[in-house]
C-alpha cells in the first residue's frame, strides 16, 4: 500500500518527503488514508488521500468537477474560512487516474475528535454548518453541477430497483426478507411524498450536500464550532428536505446504523431539536412554507429510502455498501425500518419542533 500511496503523492508533487501513512476508517464507499510528509523546514504536513469507488461513482471526473466548482464558490463567498483544497497534478487536474480508480488529495484539517456524535452542542453546530452550506450555495446555480449519481434521492426509483431485485431474486435471499418487504410496500406512498411534490413543482431545486452526517463536519478543537463541511462527493441539485431528513436519520438514531437489537433503536427528539435549531437558524428566512412543511416527513422518507437501498443491496449480493459480514445489509435495513417506525409515532412532535424553530428564525 505504501508504494501506491507514494506513487499518488508523487503525481501531486507534494513538497517534502513521504514519512508515514495510516488508513482512516470512515464511510461505506471510498478508501481513505492520512499521509504525513516531512518538510525541509523540519515541520510536518498531513494530507488526506482518497480512492474513489468506481462502482458507486461511475463518472468520477464529474464528481471532481463539481467539487472544484463548489470549493471555489466557498472560497469566493467566505474568504478567510477553512475550506477544502484539492491538490492539482502537473496537468492541472484535481485527481489522478489509476486503472478503474481515481485518487485525490486534499489538505488535512486538524479538528476535534467526535467521541460523542450525540452531544447536543455538536449536533446543533453541525446543523448550522449544513444550513450555512445550503445558504451559501443558494447563490450557486444548480444547473452548473452534474448529477453525479442520477436519481440519488428518487425514492420512487429506489423502490422500483428493490422490486426488480425481488423479481430476480438471484441469490434466493428474498425468503429472508418477506416481512420487511411487506412493511416497506405498505409505506411506499408516504415515503415517496417528496418526489411527488417535486414532480408537481411544489419544491424548489437547490444545491444539496446529500450526506449530512455529523461526522461529515469538522469541529474546532477548542470551542467545537463547525469549521467546514467535508465529503462533497454527492453535492448535487436536490431538495432541502433531503439534507434535513438524512441528517436526522443518522444523528437522531439512539443506536448505531447497524444495530441488531432493535429495542435500542429510536428517534431522539432532543437530537432532532438540536439539529433543527442549527439548520434553520441560517436558512428559515429563505425556505418556502412548502419546503418547511416537508421537513418532518422527509426524515421518515429518507430513513425508509435507505432501508430500501440496504435491502436492495442485500438481495443483489452486496455490490454497493461495504459489508463486514454476510447479512450486514439486511441488519442495516431492519435497523432503518425500526427507526422509521418510531418516527411515524413521533411525527406530531417533530412537526411542532419545526414550527417552533421556523417561528424563531424567520
Ligand atoms: C454512504 O460511505 P458514506 O458513509 O459516505 C452513502 C449514503 C448513505 C450512507 C449510509 C454515495 O455514505 O447515501 O446514507 O452510506 N453514500 C453514497 O451509511 O451512496
Ligand atoms: Mg459520504
Domain positions in the chain: 2-107, 120-361
Mean pLDDT value across residues 60-87: 95
pLDDT at 114 (0 to 100):
86
Q: Ligand 1 atom closest to Cα of 28?
A: 2
> How large a percentage of the chain has pLDDT more than 90?
95
> How large a percentage of the chain has pLDDT more than 70?
100
324 band by pLDDT with thresholds 50, 70 and 90: very high
pLDDT at 325 (0 to 100):
97
63 band by pLDDT with thresholds 50, 70 and 90: very high
- Distance from chain centroid for Cα 256: 16
27 band by pLDDT with thresholds 50, 70 and 90: confident
Contact criterion met (CB below 8 Å) for 281 and 339: no
Residue pLDDT, tens place only, 348-358: 999 999 999 99
Return the C-alpha cell found at 202.
411544489
pLDDT at 314 (0 to 100):
98
Nearest CA to 211 out of 146, 140, 153 is that of 153
- Quick one: 333 exposed, middle or buried, by C-beta within 10 A (0-12, 13-18, 19+)? buried
- Any idea which ligand is nearest the CA of 27? 1
Residue pLDDT, tens place only, 201-260: 999 999 999 999 999 999 999 999 999 999 999 999 999 999 999 999 999 999 999 999
- Paired sense of beta strands 101-107 and 217-219, if any: unpaired
Q: Which of 25, 26, 27, 333 to mutate to test the pocket of ligand 1 (most atoms within 8 A of CB)?
A: 27
Superfamily name and number for 2-107: Phosphorylase Kinase; domain 1 (3.30.200.20)
How many whole angstroms from 171 Cα to the centroid of ligand 1? 24
pLDDT at 117 (0 to 100):
79
Q: Ligand 1 atom closest to Cα of 149?
A: 11
pLDDT at 212 (0 to 100):
97
Greatest mean pLDDT among 38-42, 76-80, 271-275 lies in: 271-275
Residue located nearest, by CA, to atom 15 of ligand 1: 28
State the chain's maximal CA–CA distance in angstroms: 64
Count of C-beta atoms within a 10 Å radius of residue 332:
25
Residues near ligand 1 (Cβ within 6 A): 27-29, 56, 211, 231, 234, 257, 306
State the average pLDDT for the chain: 96
CATH topology of domain 120-361: Aminoglycoside 3'-phosphotransferase; Chain: A, domain 2 (3.90.1200)
Q: Whole-prediction pTM value?
A: 0.94
- Any idea which ligand is nearest the CA of 333? 1
Return the C-alpha cell found at 165.
431485485
Distance (Å, rounded) from C-alpha 95 to C-alpha 92?
Answer: 9
Residue 362 has pLDDT above 90, yes or no: no
Residues that place a CB less than 5 A from ion ligand 2: 211, 231
Q: What is the dihedral of CA 336, 337, 340, 346, to 10 degrees?
A: -120
Q: Which of 62, 147, 211, 320 to mutate to test the pocket of ligand 1 (most atoms within 8 A of CB)?
A: 211
pLDDT at 28 (0 to 100):
82
Amino acid at each position: 500500500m505504501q508504494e501506491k500511496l507514494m506513487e499518488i503523492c508523487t503525481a501531486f508533487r507534494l513538497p517534502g518527503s513521504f514519512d508515514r501513512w495510516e488508513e482512516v476508517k470512515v464511510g461505506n464507499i471510498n478508501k481513505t488514508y492520512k499521509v504525513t510528509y516531512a518538510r525541509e523546514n523540519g515541520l510536518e504536513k498531513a494530507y488526506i488521500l482518497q480512492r474513489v469507488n468506481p462502482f458507486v461513482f461511475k463518472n468520477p471526473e464529474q464528481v471532481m468537477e463539481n467539487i472544484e466548482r463548489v470549493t471555489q464558490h466557498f472560497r469566493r463567498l467566505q474568504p478567510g474560512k477553512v475550506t477544502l483544497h484539492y491538490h492539482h497534478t502537473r496537468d492541472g487536474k484535481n485527481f489522478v487516474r489509476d486503472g478503474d480508480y481515481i485518487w485525490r488529495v486534499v489538505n488535512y484539517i486538524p479538528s476535534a475528535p467526535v467521541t460523542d456524535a450525540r452531544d447536543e452542542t455538536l449536533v446543533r453546530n453541525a446543523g448550522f454548518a449544513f444550513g450555512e452550506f445550503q445558504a451559501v450555495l443558494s447563490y450557486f446555480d444548480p444547473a452548473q453541477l452534474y448529477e453525479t449519481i442520477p436519481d440519488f434521492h428518487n425514492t420512487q426509483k429506489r423502490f422500483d430497483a428493490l422490486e426488480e431485485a425481488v423479481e430476480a431474486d438471484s441469490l434466493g435471499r428474498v425468503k429472508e426478507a418477506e416481512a420487511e418487504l411487506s412493511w416497506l410496500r405498505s409505506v411506499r406512498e408516504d415515503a415517496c411524498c417528496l418526489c411527488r411534490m417535486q414532480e408537481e413543482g411544489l419544491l424548489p431545486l437547490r444545491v444539496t450536500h446529500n450526506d449530512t452526517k455529523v461526522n461529515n463536519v469538522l469541529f474546532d478543537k477548542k470551542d467545537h464550532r463547525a469549521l467546514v463541511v467535508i465529503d462533497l462527493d454527492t453535492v448535487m441539485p436536490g431538495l432541502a428536505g433531503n439534507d434535513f431528513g438524512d441528517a436526522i436519520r443518522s444523528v437522531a438514531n439512539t443506536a448505531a446504523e447497524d444495530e441488531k437489537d432493535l429495542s435500542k433503536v429510536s428517534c431522539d427528539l432532543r437530537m432532532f431539536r438540536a439539529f433543527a435549531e442549527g439548520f434553520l437558524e441560517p436558512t428559515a428566512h429563505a425556505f418556502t412554507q412548502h419546503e418547511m412543511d416537508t421537513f418532518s416527513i422527509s426524515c421518515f422518507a429518507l430513513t425508509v429510502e435507505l432501508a430500501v437501498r440496504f435491502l436492495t443491496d442485500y438481495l443483489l449480493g452486496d455490490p454497493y455498501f461495504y459489508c463486514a459480514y454476510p447479512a450486514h445489509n439486511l441488519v442495516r435495513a431492519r435497523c432503518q425500518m425500526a427507526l422509521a417506525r418510531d418516527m411515524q409515532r413521533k411525527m406530531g412532535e417533530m412537526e411542532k419542533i419545526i414550527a417552533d424553530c421556523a417561528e424563531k428564525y424567520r
